[in-house]
Amino acid sequence: MTNPKTVSKEIIVFTSCSMVLTALGIDIMLPAFADVRRHFAVGNDVAQTDRLVTFFFMGQIMQIVFGYLTDKMGRLPILRFGIILYILSGFATVYAPSLAWMFFFRFISGMGAAAVFMTSIASVRDRYAGDEMARVMSLVLTLFLFTPVIAPSLGAVILNYYSWQWVFLIPPVFAVLVFIWSFRMDESLPVEARNDMKIGELLPKLKSIATDAHFLRYVTIATLIFSVLSSYVSSSERIIGDIYQRPDLFPIIFGAIGLLMAILSLTNSYFTKRYGAKKTLRVILLLYLATASVLLGGVLLLGNPPPMVFFFVMIALLMAFTTAGDPNSGALALEFMGENAGLAAAVDGTIFFFIGSGIGAVISSQLTDGVLPLAIGAVLASLVSVLLVFGDTTKK
């Protein structure tokens, strides 16, 4: 018999690697965006390559469909289908004849990542609940967040010797390995626990979830905070390379921020276990609002853009607070969902990624010569989030 502790560790590592497909599908490609623009002769129009990130995030709208299917068919079949979709669209992106086709295949790739991401979270939820789920997800995210530490540097190294196409091939190749590994995993949702809900029953369930005030409170918090992260990630090449004129520092800055994100995610696991998800989230959001306010004050008083070191220290803290708080907001959103938890997790992910990335794209479109829109967005997002989290009077 396999040692339970060993199985538990393997599940955590496998879940992290599955979720890495989402981060790897973005982070390793960022250093190659300039080469993509040259390949398609779009000059310095960085907004074109920013859309490669936005369309990928928007593919997450399919989480609702996959949420329904995974509750009905089990976690592993949908996970494997998502990986296959991710692999095929990843290879298609590399050989796309135009940017428009790249956007299309990136959307499909995002759909595949959506299936993998939400089934990974659902499998954790099958085994854990409440504060314990938040703690385990923090451990998973800690491993997951080492991707932005390593991926941009790996992409830059590959670019030194090979073309951008080789960089874009890394995610689907890694996905092949995850697909093979999935056959070692056990199904976390037994047949007797599966939902036999018919399509006709889906809309009333969705309405019930979408009108649940507690659920909407925490999904809104996660979505608003994610919108700032989405805007920064999609615009990071533009901010570092064009606004601050230091493209050579891109892998270092992106990696350092990713390392801080991983550290705070692990720290969140400890504090969540000790104080609970809600109390920890409240402190994180207050720190986020304070940091965002300092950033906005710096932009207004020191110039737009402000000094480079100041800006990236503030951004690093904001990104770290985002990833530290995300498991808590997710666990709290599903706290009272009961048998609807699987579908609710899918709705959560759809809103989180699709609407969050849409708001992020609006912020990014305003980032031309400075970073003021990003600072304003961070303050507004965190202010609303703080009001929402302190407005929750439930005792649990």
Give pLDDT tens digits for 217-250.
Answer: 999 999 999 899 888 888 888 888 888 988 888 8
Residue 339: the pLDDT is: 66
Global pTM exceeds 0.85? no
pLDDT in tens, 299-341: 999 999 999 999 999 999 999 899 888 878 887 887 777 667 7
Residue 288: the pLDDT is: 96
Residue 6: the pLDDT is: 36
Residue 3: the pLDDT is: 41
Residue 362: the pLDDT is: 87
Domains (ranges, CATH) in the chain?
4-390 (1.20.1250.20)
Residue ranges of the chain with pLDDT lower than 50? 1-7
Residue 7: the pLDDT is: 39
For tokens 């009905």, name the residue: 72
